[in-house]
Amino acid sequence: MLPDKQDAFGHEINDYFINKSGFEIIERNDGFFTVGLGPSFYFLEHHEWQESEKEAIKYATGSVLDIGCGAGRHALYLQEQGLDVLGVDVSPLALEVCRKRGLKKTRTLSITQLDRKLGIFDTILMLGNNFCLVGNVKRARWLLNKFHRMTRDSALIIAQTRDPYPTTVQEHLAYHALNRKAGKMSGETRIRVRYKKHVTPWIDFLMVSKDEMKGLLEGTRWEVKKLLEDGHSLYIAILGKRGQ
């Protein structure tokens, strides 16, 4: 269980839920600081979503596992549509907000703690860039194989991520280069979120290009069924089981 001191996500979400204001500070392990889209972004209503998100959510069916559900915007929308949604998140306070907003099924779990005991799903939702939570290639394949056993044959993973390459920010390009020098993928990024005195543990965040996504899926039993573009660098991959 994440200690309250580390629940920066939960506190930014809870404060926004109460006061309709807030911020999200992102620290990278090379000392680069920036400001994230949250928390207002995590509360956007369906009509305010990116077009690609609206398109992607249509692929959700049946029993849905929303990984990193945050303030619950996707989970709540699908629950309203009559789907059976389980929202999981590492943040106890974010899940408390989800429940206050009406989400019926929640579990406080990190992505690595998910297993078959949670049920068998038709859809795994990794929107809001949550496919980045796979962390690195090795862990991504381990997780994808686990997800394979937690899902029906016709299941889909709705996976949003970011292509790290279309950037001109010098600090990002330098970070990519250091990663490659260390034998990592360019888009392997270690970050933590700060909010007031709260700071999350370091999070391994993997950004991949569309080609790298395909490479990552080699050696798993998933393949890209469809790509939905988000413009500049964001995109959503609809993953299905090979041979389905």
Residue 34 within binding range of a second copy, rule CB under 8 A: yes
Task: State the minimum distance, in angstroms, from the CB of residue 69 to a second copy.
Answer: 24
Residue 23 within binding range of a second copy, rule CB under 8 A: yes
Residue 54 within binding range of a second copy, rule CB under 8 A: no
Smallest CA-to-CA distance from 12 within 192, 207, 132, 203 is with: 192
Distance between CA atoms of residues 25 and 35, nearest Å: 5
Applying CB under 8 A, among 25, 44, 118, 173 the residue interacting with a second copy is 25
Residue 30 within binding range of a second copy, rule CB under 8 A: yes
Interface mask toward a second copy for 132-171; x: CB under 8 A: ---------------------------------------x
DSSP 18-55: HHS----EEEETTS-EEE-STTGGGG--GGGS-HHHHH
Applying CB under 8 A, among 1, 33, 218, 243 the residue interacting with a second copy is 33
Q: Residue 117: is it exposed, middle or buried by C-beta count within 10 angstroms (0-12/13-18/19+)?
A: exposed
Contact window for a second copy (CB under 8 A) among 75-83, 104-112, 141-149, 195-203: 195-203
# residues contacting a second copy (CB under 8 A): 14
Q: How many CB atoms lie within 10 A of CB 18?
A: 11
Task: State the minimum distance, in angstroms, from the CB of residue 33 to a second copy.
Answer: 4
Residue 31 within binding range of a second copy, rule CB under 8 A: yes
* Spacing of C-alpha 42 from chain mean position: 12
Applying CB under 8 A, among 196, 214, 232, 242 the residue interacting with a second copy is 196
Task: State the minimum distance, in angstroms, from the CB of residue 199 to a second copy.
Answer: 8
* Angle formed at CA 114 by CA 109 and CA 116, multiple of 5 degrees: 140
Smallest CA-to-CA distance from 27 within 197, 189, 208 is with: 189
The neighbouring-strand residues paired with 226 are 238
Residues contributing to the site for a second copy (CB under 8 A): 23, 25, 30-35, 171, 194-197, 199
